[in-house]
Amino acid sequence: MSVKQYLCGPCLAGKGEIEGVVYCKECEEPLCAQCKRDHARIKVSSHHKLCDLADVPPKEIQALLKSLIACQNHETEEVVYLCKDHDTT
């Protein structure tokens, strides 16, 4: 998949078309170099995990991964521990 297919999400919202250089897994969008720097400086997004665009899985796989790590009892949280004996988190 070509990097050119990934345009920066925040820049697109502002009507700009700048190629992304990294992908934010939490925001689920590509970021250009400037937005990457801003993302790291902003307190709420400074802990987000960024990866190379070549490592971004297809949308179908992203949806599957998201469903596997989401807690059934707490929709906004990721599963941290799973008890094999009781099948609960």
Q: pLDDT, tens digit, for every residue of 40-81?
A: 999 999 999 999 988 887 776 666 666 666 666 776 766 666
Comparing CA positions, the residue from 41, 5, 39 lying closest to residue 25 is: 39
Comparing CA positions, the residue from 34, 38, 57 lying closest to residue 48 is: 38
Q: Tell me: pLDDT of 1 over 90.
A: no
The answer as to CATH 2.30.30 being correct for domain 3-56 is: no
Domain boundaries, the chain: 3-56, 57-89
Is 71 or 18 the better-scoring residue by pLDDT? 18
What is the pTM for the complete model shown? 0.63
Residue 31 · residue 39 · CB < 8 Å: yes
- Rounded CA-CA distance 82/27 in Å is 25
CB atoms within 10 A of CB 79: 13
For residue range 41-52, list pLDDT tens digits in order: 999 999 999 999
Which of 16-20, 28-32, 72-76, 77-81 comes out lowest in average pLDDT? 77-81
